[in-house]
Amino acid sequence: MDSVRNQRAASLPAKLSRSWLLESAGEGANFPAALASEADSVIFDIEDAVPADEKKAARDRVVKALSEGLTAWVRINAIDTDFWADDLSALTQVPGLRGVMLAKTEKPEHVSQTALRLRAGTPVLALIESAIGIENATAIAKAPGTFRLAFGVGDFRRDTGASDDPMALAYARAKLVVASRVGELPGPIDGPTLGTDEEGLRKACAVTASMGMTGKLCLKTEQTETINYGLSPSHSEVQWAHELLEKHSSGEIEGDGSYLPRLARAQKINDLADSYGLWNS
């Protein structure tokens, strides 16, 4: 299999990934197309997108792809299923595995037990999809092996009866943001927005960013560019940071009490602009 990878995304550290594209590993999977998209990170999905009687075939499909030149994350089945151990056994030595997303994470030991079965240093994305998971988010964020937290909005809503109104989900999102900060993790990854309406997706990304989340799951390749744009520093922010850093380097600014925090924010925006290639956009 030819190695097909968006080179911009391939060089971007996963801690900075904004768009996380879930590509079903079921029959008809098109892994190369997903990897050639504008998604910062791609996740081959052998969990929610695959019926129980097709799990083995999907797993074999992923192992073959990741053994023949492709690189991706893999969403594996929950720890309390019959598939979890087989998923990990099959993926442990696969060369193209970037990391795993653990479905239905509810306890810190779910992450640590998963990490112990993988090649040392393999990152684990903890997908939190229930009220129990949200309440245990801080412990999960501090568990050995946890790389980032992600929000499984659909299952969380089914578990709690919450609507998709941003206010109804604000507590859960805030909990993941605070837990990530306490656990010294990158910002958490928000759940997907269903449908293809671009204006609706832009508004959803604005909610994600306003809550302090820095990534977003998606199910369609055409959503990736909108997510990347919505979760990047704006043009005005990049320009402000550039001007402040120029004045700082030339000694034009006499700082007050707010200067150092503003300088740190400007440097962070400047670094993100470099990482995301915004100077050339």
Tell the residue number behind the tokens 């590993």, with chain if given. 25
Higher pLDDT, 256 or 34: 34
pLDDT tens string 232-274: 876 767 677 677 787 777 777 666 667 778 777 777 776 666 6
What is the model's pLDDT at position 144? Answer: 95
Q: Which of 137, 144, 138, 136 is nearest to 118 (CA)?
A: 144
Q: Is the pLDDT of residue 2 over 60?
A: no
pLDDT tens string 108-126: 999 999 999 999 999 999 9
Domains with residue ranges and CATH for the chain: 7-230 (3.20.20.60), 235-280 (no CATH)
Q: Show the 3-state SS of 21-67.
A: EEEECCCCCCHHHHHCCCCCEEEEECCCCCCHHHHHHHHHHHHHHHH
What is the model's pLDDT at position 260? Answer: 77
What is the model's pLDDT at position 273? Answer: 66
**CA torsion sign, 18 to 141 to 74 to 51?**
negative
Q: What is the mean pLDDT of the chain?
A: 90
pLDDT tens string 168-221: 999 999 999 999 999 999 999 999 998 768 999 999 999 999 999 999 999 999
What is the model's pLDDT at position 159? Answer: 98
pLDDT tens string 58-68: 999 999 999 99
Around 137, how many Cα atoms within 13 Å sit in the side-chain half-sphere? Answer: 27
Q: Is the pLDDT of residue 279 over 50?
A: no
Q: Which of 47, 104, 105, 96 is nearest to 73 (CA)?
A: 96
pTM of this structure? 0.88
What is the model's pLDDT at position 123? Answer: 97
Q: Is residue 281 very low, low, confident or very high in pLDDT (cuts 50, 70, 90)?
A: very low
Which of 1-10, 13-22, 72-81, 130-139 is least confident?
A: 1-10
